[in-house]
Structure 1
């Protein structure tokens, strides 16, 4: 440890010299309350104990990692539990940094989107991406589905559906994904059919808590089974996925799965409001650019409805 003055203390210049920094830096940390002096000289100059060197080095290391002064103070002031405090402060800083990096990646992709488009499309794209935050929020999509789903749907069933129906913005989006998400948010910001509220499928209108829970749990299983067939490139047709799909509607309606029920279900589902535009944009958003489109619940529903409509009349 470098030697101290005759009183065992260092001047602010001596401390700065031992730490390899400037007097201005030491004064800033002292004035911020991070580096308290031990005493003042007869002339009113700051005097520091030698152990202030280790504290100053710790402060500079934490500040070099980007931790704000408030977090640095928590670490240096709680020496007894410094390890836990330090881990928490670093974790918090990592989260904040990740959020800023994600925002920058979205801004970069949005700039490429605007820069690379034909001049006649630039104003429209600026309007679309300008309505998004960085990174964007899924709140508009959540609000849309809350108005669409059955009003008495149990909270657990609602959450499970939202996890599938509300796509999370990619951390490092391609320009095309930024455009898809912007269009998705613009789409749900207006009613599907031009009315004051989203139109509802027929199955929603009579669905209580039990029926809506059964309906969406059964449909989720049917959609998963259909997605397997879709990834394999299979055309819509009979099989386990279609049987599960029909059985779900039959169970909710309290009916048996008969040819007559299937014919009536096909007519009823064909007349239901369509959300094809929503699911097409979701597919663009969740599919890796240049990759094979990922099946969505909407795509699986259409596949199953096509399979149902192709059922023989017998």
Structure 2
């Protein structure tokens, strides 16, 4: 150290084990203030600059961007927020890498004749994939003027979240799901059922309030591997339709409902792909709906007999 207690830029760089270019870079960006200038206009640094430079290097070793390093240097309590932000970003990057790895395995495992089709499917989604297109499908498929709270609850339950560590089969299922919901209806399986059509006199809010409870009850039966049967779940299911239609749950209504649901457009393929993406741990609403329809058909058949 010189008699005035200051270091030159070269001396500071040598003490810190960095290049002069590195010291100049941080100085020019205001992260490493100079203590003074020599008579010749050269930068001079005090002992505190060495500690600050070492802290900067530690933060940069963690790959923190220079603006974030500046925030931490100015406000020590900003470190927690900056670290949390970096962890979120790393989580996204790791999820993308795992998704890409599974996609590459999918291509590696398929036959040459399948490769072009799978490349097309995989190329249609980002890594990690976004669920926005699935949410848009449900907003379009659900009845108009459904309360926002119900729409949000239905979308949360019906839209599968991409697995954190997907298998090749899950990548393929999600890609196929993406293609399915971006296709046109054209009178096919993605058209709305009768209960969604405004001119049928239904009250969709009453219907979906009741269906949510019915699906939850049926889901417990599915987890217990019980076959479709009469009981609380079916009663709740029928009551949801009856209440939405302003009528009572009667044997005649159950027969009518059984026939109507049998003719309604269905989104079975959506639920099949969703089950592949999510796994078997939680029954999907589609599986619960099928269980309830089967229970209703059994009841209607008995009533007719």
Q: Structure 2 length as normaliser, TM-score?
A: 0.94
Structure 2 residue aligned with 1:74: 71
Q: In the TM superposition, what is the alpha-carbon distance from 1:31 to its structure 2 partner?
A: 2.5
Q: Structure 1 residue 226 and structure 2 residue 214: aligned?
A: no
Match of 2:287 among 299, 309, 312: 299
Deviations 1:37-74 (A, max 9, x none): 22222333221111111211111111111110111111
Distance in structure 2 (CA, Å) of the matches to 1:66 and 1:194: 53
Structure 2 residue aligned with 1:313: 303
Q: In the TM superposition, what is the alpha-carbon distance from 1:206 to its structure 2 partner?
A: 3.3
Structure 1 residue aligned with 2:92: 99
Q: Give 1:243-254 correspondences, 5 Å limit.
A: 243-254=235-246
Question: Alignment partner of 2:192: what SS?
Answer: coil
Match of 1:15 among 12, 16, 28: 12
Match of 2:260 among 268, 271, 294: 268
Question: Alignment partner of 2:203: what SS?
Answer: helix
Structure 1 residue aligned with 2:131: 138
Match of 2:23 among 20, 23, 26: 26
Match of 2:36 among 39, 42, 46: 39
Structure 2 residue aligned with 1:115: 108
Deviations 1:268-311 (A, max 9, x none): 11111110000000000000xxxx46421011101110110111
Unaligned runs of 5+ in 1: none
Q: In the TM superposition, what is the alpha-carbon distance from 1:198 to its structure 2 partner?
A: 4.9
Q: Structure 1 residue 152 and structure 2 residue 145: aligned?
A: yes
Q: Structure 1 residue 202 and structure 2 residue 194: aligned?
A: yes
Q: In the TM superposition, what is the alpha-carbon distance from 1:34 to its structure 2 partner?
A: 1.4
Distance in structure 2 (CA, Å) of the matches to 1:193 and 1:269: 20
Distance in structure 2 (CA, Å) of the matches to 1:213 and 1:35: 61
TM superposition outliers: structure 1 runs of 4+ over 3 Å: 192-195
CA RMSD of aligned residues (A): 2.0
Match of 2:204 among 201, 212, 223: 212
Question: Alignment partner of 1:313: what SS?
Answer: helix
Contact 1:192 1:198 in 2 (8 A): yes
Q: In the TM superposition, what is the alpha-carbon distance from 1:207 to its structure 2 partner?
A: 8.2
- Count, aligned residues: 302
Distance in structure 2 (CA, Å) of the matches to 1:142 and 1:191: 16
Q: Structure 1 length as normaliser, TM-score?
A: 0.91
Distance in structure 1 (CA, Å) of the matches to 2:175 and 2:74: 46
Contact 1:152 1:207 in 2 (8 A): no
Question: Alignment partner of 1:47: what SS?
Answer: strand
Distance in structure 1 (CA, Å) of the matches to 2:58 and 2:42: 26
Distance in structure 2 (CA, Å) of the matches to 1:230 and 1:207: 34
Unaligned runs of 5+ in 2: none
